[in-house]
Chains A and B, each alone.
Chain A
C-alpha cells in the first residue's frame, strides 16, 4: 500500500464518526426508567429482560435516529407492587424519565399504572402478562404477551387437534396462574371438553412438592393435564414429577403455556419433557433468519452457554419500540407522541411479525404450537402448528375485567 493511500484511509477513518452521525450537534439523550426485578429469587428473569434491552441498544444504534437512550434502572424486587410503585414515582419526579419500561410481575405493573396516567409517562410492558393491564392507563403499551395469548388457543387445540375430551388444570395460585387457567378453560369448553379437576398448586414463591397434586390428577384420569407455573424452577419440578409418577404411560398428556418449557430450563428437565405440547410465541430454536441472528448475537454477547428466552425477546422488542418512538419524534419525546408512534407499530421480532393493536395498545402476534423433541442429543422445541396474528382473546371476548 502506498503511503498516500494509507494517509487517505487514516483521514477517512478519523472523519467516520462525523459522517455517520450528521446530526450529532442536536442529538438528544432520552431518559428511560427501567423497573425490573434485579435481586431475589426471580433475578435471573429480570436479567434476561435487561440483557435483551441492552443487546438491542448495542446492536442497533442506528434505530434511534441519531439519538441516544439513557437507561436508569431500579430494582422492583418482589412482586408486591409497592417497591415498583415507589421506584416509578422517583423515576418520574426526580429523574424526569420520558418513558418507563420493564415490569416483570403483573402486580408491579398494576400498582404503577396510575402514576403513568398522572405523570403522563408512557409505560412499555416487557413481560407482565395479566390480560387487562393496558386498560388501567391510556399510557400503557405492551410488547410481551397476555396469559390468554397462549391459554385460549391451547384450550381449543387440546379439544380439537389433541382430541382431549376431559382435562385437569393445575396452576400456581396467583393472578397470572388464575388468568391462564381461565383462558385454557374458556378455550377448552368451546370445543365441548370439560374440566374435571381444577387444582391450585400453592403460591409462586417456593416450589412445592407437586406429588400430591399430580397424584390426584393421575387418579382422575383426564386426557389432558394443563399446567401453569411461573417461569423459573417450578417448571423443572413439574416435568420431573410428571415423569416420576409415570403419567404419560397412564395416557395423560402434559400441556401448558410455553412458560413451562422455558428455553433456559429445558435442558435440565430430562427425557420426561419429550412429547410435551405447549403453546407459545417464542423459543430459541425458532428457525427464522431474525431469530438466528438474534440468538447468534446473544451468544456472542453473553456466552455460548447462555440462551435467550421469551423474556429476553420481550426486552429486545420493547427496546425496539422505544427506538421507534425516539426516532419518530426525532428525540423530542412526549407522552402523546410516544403513544401515537407505538399505535399500530409493527416490527420483525425474533418471534415473528408483531404489532401493537391501535385500540387496545396490546401485542398482536403469531402463537405457535411447540412440541418438545430430542434432536442431536439435546432437547429442542419443534413448531408443529401456528395460530396467526392472535389479538388478546380476553379483550376480544370481553371476559371479566377485560370487558371494561
Chain B
C-alpha cells in the first residue's frame, strides 16, 4: 500500500476513535444546553465520576469491563437525577453567569471530593484480552481497543437516533428543543423530559469517562482539563442537535488527529482554526437553531 494511503487510513481510523470518545461525552451536554439553555460546565465532572465508578467496579469488585460500562451508565444517570432536581433546577431561570458560577463550583467540589476519596494519583484498569492487541481487517491491522470505541460510538449514535427520531419521547424532546413554551402549552411536561435527558446525557458522559481511561488516563482534574474540547464539540455542532454533535465530533477528531500526525509542532492549532472557521460561516454551529433574540 502506498505510504500516503496508509497514513490517510490510520489518520481516519485514529481520528474516528478519538471522535467517538468526544461524541459520547459531549452529546449529553449538547442536548441539555439545547433543551434547557442551561450552561452546565460540570458536565465533565460526570465523565470523570463515570471513570472512577468504572475503576471501582473493575478494581474493587472485579466486574468485567463491558458490564462495568453498563453499570457506570446506570449509576451516573441515577446520581444525576437528585442533583438535577436539587441543585440545577432552582437556577433554570437564572442568568448565564449564575449558571456558569454554580456549575464551575460543582466542578471544583467534584475534583475535591474525588481527590479526597481516591487520592490524586491517576488510577488505571486492565482491559480484557480481546480488547488488547490488534485486529486484522484484511487490508490493515488496527488497535482493537480503538476499534471497540468506534463501534460503541456508532452504536450510541444509532440508539440515540432511534430514540430521538422514532419514539414519542424523542419527538417530545425535539419539540421542546425547538420551542419550549409551545411544547409546554400543548401539554408536554418539559420538566420531566428534562430530568430524563439530563440523566441520559450524564450517563453517557459517564460511559465516555470509563472508555477514556485506556486512551488518555483518568485523574480528578479530568473534569476540567478536557472541558474546552467538549464545549467546542457542542458549539461547532450546534446546541441541542444530535447529528450536529456527531458531525462536529468527527470533523474535530479527524482534523485534530491529522494535524498532530502531519504537523505535530502545530499542537492544538488545527482544532481552533476549524472552530473559528465553522463559527464564522455558521455562528450557530452545523445544525444549531437560529437564535432570534
Interface centre among A203, A232, A233, A241, by most chain B C-beta atoms within 10 angstroms, is: A233
A337 is an interface residue with CB less than 8 A from chain B: no
As a 0/1 sequence over residues 230 to 265 of chain A, the CB contacts with chain B under 8 angstroms (1 = contact) are: 001110110011011110000000000000000011
B243 is an interface residue with CB less than 8 A from chain A: no
A5 is an interface residue with CB less than 8 A from chain B: no
Contact A41 B120 (CB under 8 A): yes
Contacts A237-B216, A270-B126 known; A205 to B225 CB distance under 8 Å? yes
Nearest chain B CB to A207's CB is how many angstroms away?
4
A62 is an interface residue with CB less than 8 A from chain B: no
Contact B217 A202 (CB under 8 A): no
Contact A202 B267 (CB under 8 A): yes
B75 is an interface residue with CB less than 8 A from chain A: no
As a 0/1 sequence over residues 34 to 56 of chain A, the CB contacts with chain B under 8 angstroms (1 = contact) are: 00000011111001000000000
B233 is an interface residue with CB less than 8 A from chain A: no
Query: Which chain B residues lie closer than 8 Å to A173 at the CB level?
Result: 267
A163 is an interface residue with CB less than 8 A from chain B: no
Query: Could you say which of A85-93, A139-147, A208-216 contacts chain B?
Result: A208-216
| Count of chain B residues near A, Cβ 8 A | 47
Contact B216 A206 (CB under 8 A): yes
Please report the number of residue pairs spanning A and B whose Cβ atoms sit closer than 8 angstroms: 111
Q: How far is the CA of A32 from the CA of B206 in the complex (A)?
A: 44
CB-CB contacts below 8 Å: B136-154 with A: 141, 143-146
B134 is an interface residue with CB less than 8 A from chain A: yes
**In-complex Cβ contact of A211 among B18, B119, B126 (8 A):** B18
**In-complex Cβ contact of B17 among A199, A205, A211, A240 (8 A):** A211
Query: Which chain A residues lie closer than 8 Å to B72 at the CB level?
Result: none
A200 is an interface residue with CB less than 8 A from chain B: yes
Residue of B nearest to A267 (CB): B124
CB-CB contacts below 8 Å: A154-209 with B: 173, 199-203, 205-209
Contact A219 B264 (CB under 8 A): no
A269 is an interface residue with CB less than 8 A from chain B: yes
Contact A246 B220 (CB under 8 A): no
Contact A200 B264 (CB under 8 A): yes
Interface centre among B14, B125, B220, B226, by most chain A C-beta atoms within 10 angstroms, is: B14
As a 0/1 sequence over residues 238 to 280 of chain B, the CB contacts with chain A under 8 angstroms (1 = contact) are: 0000000000000000001110110011011000000000000
Contact A237 B115 (CB under 8 A): no
Q: How far is the CA of A216 from the CA of B261 in the complex (A)?
A: 6
Contact B264 A233 (CB under 8 A): no
Residue of A nearest to B265 (CB): A200
Q: How far is the CA of A113 from the CA of B182 in the complex (A)?
A: 64
Query: Which chain B residues lie closer than 8 Å to A246 at the CB level?
Result: 133-134, 141, 143
Contact A43 B115 (CB under 8 A): yes
A268 is an interface residue with CB less than 8 A from chain B: yes
Query: Which chain B residues lie closer than 8 Å to A233 at the CB level?
Result: 122, 124, 217-219
Contacts A209-B14, A244-B143, A246-B134 known; A219 to B6 CB distance under 8 Å? yes
As a 0/1 sequence over residues 361 to 384 of chain A, the CB contacts with chain B under 8 angstroms (1 = contact) are: 000000000000000000000000
Contact B124 A268 (CB under 8 A): yes
B11 is an interface residue with CB less than 8 A from chain A: yes
Residue of B nearest to A232 (CB): B122
Contacts A207-B217, A269-B124 known; A212 to B261 CB distance under 8 Å? yes
**In-complex Cβ contact of B146 among A208, A244, A264 (8 A):** A244
Contacts A200-B267, A244-B145, A246-B141 known; A268 to B123 CB distance under 8 Å? yes
Query: Which chain B residues lie closer than 8 Å to A47 at the CB level?
Result: 120
Can you give 30 contacting A-B residue pairs, CB < 8 Å?
A: A41-B220, A41-B225, A43-B115, A200-B267, A202-B260, A202-B268, A203-B267, A207-B216, A208-B216, A209-B215, A209-B216, A209-B257, A211-B18, A211-B257, A212-B258, A212-B261, A213-B261, A216-B264, A219-B3, A233-B122, A236-B122, A237-B215, A237-B217, A243-B133, A244-B144, A244-B146, A246-B134, A264-B121, A268-B125, A269-B124
List the interface of chain A (C-beta within 8 A of B): 40-44, 47, 173, 199-203, 205-209, 211-213, 215-216, 219, 232-234, 236-237, 240-241, 243-246, 264-265, 268-270
Q: Told that A199-B264, A244-B134 touch, could you supply 13 new A-B pairs with CB distance under 8 A?
A: A47-B120, A200-B265, A203-B267, A205-B225, A211-B257, A212-B15, A212-B264, A213-B264, A236-B122, A236-B217, A237-B215, A246-B133, A269-B124
